Amino acid sequence: MQTNNLAPAGKSYLDPTGVAIGPNQWQLVLSESESVLGDRYYTLVHTTLALA
């Protein structure tokens, strides 16, 4: 079991969407912003999640 946070603590993430791209692999797309109070400007980022 993974007990460490995989996402940086200084970031805020919203609305993850995943699409299967292979056996035990998913392409993830989500919104990312600096983790600050007040107005935030989000950008889209992507990554691949793979399970062993």
Q: Summarize pLDDT for 15-47 with one digit per residue, the tens.
A: 889 999 999 999 999 999 988 888 889 999 999
Please check the confidence at residue 5 and state whether its pLDDT lies above 80: no
Structure tokens at 10: 């200084």
Q: CA angle, 35 as apex, 14 and 6 as ends, to 5°?
A: 65
* pTM, 2 dp: 0.64
- How many domains are contained in the chain? 1
| pLDDT at site 12 | 84
Residue 29 lies in a domain: yes
- Confidence band, pLDDT 50/70/90 cuts, at residue 3: low
| pLDDT at site 37 | 87
Q: Which domain holds residue 31?
A: 11-50
Residue 6 lies in a domain: no
Residue 25 lies in a domain: yes
Residue 40 lies in a domain: yes
Please check the confidence at residue 2 and state whether its pLDDT lies above 70: no
Residue 23 lies in a domain: yes
